[in-house]
Amino acid sequence: MMRRIKDFRATFENKREIASNVFLIEFFLPDFDGSAEPGQFMMLKASSVYDPFLRRPYSIFDCEKERIKVLLKVIGPASSIIAEKQENEKIDILGPLGNGFPILSNKHSVLVAGGIGVAPLWFLAKKLKAENQTFSIIYGEKTATDMSFEIKETFADFSHIVTEDGSKGDKATAPGILPSFFDKLGEKQYVLYVCGPKAMLKETISFGRKRNIPVYVSLEQRMACGTGICFGCSVKTARKPGYLTICKDGPVFSAEDVEI
């Protein structure tokens, strides 16, 4: 029996504020072999006392042997406790969990990322780049933060930045520029990957349908277990009655399989 999922006694290594209340945090995970797929996530236990009781799911932003990075936005007590941890403080991290993005190597991948939804797509972009695949990453946010600059620096010509207030790149939303963006790219075989707010997922999916481009979405939902045992994080299936679990069947789904 291969035991793929592990509960790591990790160490908080460092954090960097990327935007107001958004942190890129690096953890040291002893014995982690570094193998995880873009789209997979980890469950972080905020505190050793029972309040907050449940762990919190975070997409893997990046990982290597014995190291993992997550992008965390402070939205409540649990994320605040994690963000305020000190260097060398211990934290339990379970993972890697869920299914990652399928990589379709004969197609040009277009990654559509909104705000902190960039986390799994950064990891995907990094992998596509390492495999010399053709891809584009469109990153949108309300106003320019360090993330826009980092994406530009790391993915250079593969990246396209938009902001709602025009503070960097086009003044637009990420899904809003898809029609003109694709017209410029020309006739090719494409696949879309999207993670961000619900409205962004919907707009990207409807664009994909119009152009007959497959779309993969990364979904989020409150979770208790993260492993598929509690059936707490359900999403309605599109093809037949019933539900799928986001943690085990997802968090990455073909847009045609789920109701968003």
Partner 1 sequence: MANLEVQIGSLRFKNPVLTASGTFGNGQIMNEIFDVSVLGGIITKSITLKPKEGNPAPRIVETSCGMLNSIGLENAGLDNFLNNILPKIQLLRTNKIASIAGASEEEYGMLAEKLDGKVNGLEINISCPNVKRGGMSFGQDVDSVARITKIVRRKTSLPFIVKLTPNVTHIEDIAKACEENGADAVSLVNTYKGMAIDVRQRISKLGSFSGGLSGPAIKPLALYAVSQVYSKVNIPVIGCGGIMNVVDALEFIMAGATLIEVGSATFREPMAAPKIVEGLKLYCEKEKIGILEKIRGIVNED
Instruction: Quote the CA–CA distance of 112 and 257 in Å, as a whole number.
Output: 19
Q: Kindly state the number of chain residues that form the binding site for partner 1, as judged by CB under 8 A.
A: 34
Which of the ranges 107-115, 145-153, 184-192, 220-228 carries the binding residues for partner 1, by CB under 8 A?
A: 220-228
- Which residues from 27-56 bind partner 1, rule CB under 8 A? 45, 50-55
Residue closer to partner 1, measured from CB, 52 or 214: 52
Which among 147, 187, 180 is positioned nearest to 163, based on CA atoms? Answer: 147
In the complex, what is the shortest distance from the CB of residue 95 to partner 1, in angstroms, rounded to a whole number? 11
In the complex, what is the shortest distance from the CB of residue 7 to partner 1, in angstroms, rounded to a whole number? 6
Q: What is the 3-state secondary structure (H, E, C) of 142-211?
A: CCCCHHHHHHHHHHHHHEEEEECCCCCCEECCCHHHHHHHHHHHCCCCEEEEEECCHHHHHHHHHHHHHH
Strand partners, 73: 22
In the complex, what is the shortest distance from the CB of residue 45 to partner 1, in angstroms, rounded to a whole number? 7
Q: Is 243 in the site for partner 1 (CB under 8 A)?
A: yes
Beta pairing, strands 135-141 & 159-163: parallel
* Options 192, 225, 252, 255; binder of partner 1; rule CB under 8 A: 225
Residue closer to partner 1, measured from CB, 65 or 222: 222
- Cβ 221 vs Cβ 67: under 8 Å: no
129: which DSSP letter? H
Instruction: Quote the CA–CA distance of 6 and 94 in Å, as a whole number.
Output: 6
In the complex, what is the shortest distance from the CB of residue 1 to partner 1, in angstroms, rounded to a whole number? 7
In the complex, what is the shortest distance from the CB of residue 87 to partner 1, in angstroms, rounded to a whole number? 25
Q: Is 130 in the site for partner 1 (CB under 8 A)?
A: no
Which of the ranges 2-10, 12-20, 113-121, 200-208 carries the binding residues for partner 1, by CB under 8 A?
A: 2-10
**Both tokens of residue 128?**
């596509």
Residue closer to partner 1, measured from CB, 184 or 240: 240
Name the residues that contact partner 1, by CB under 8 A. 1-7, 45, 50-55, 94, 221-235, 241-243, 248
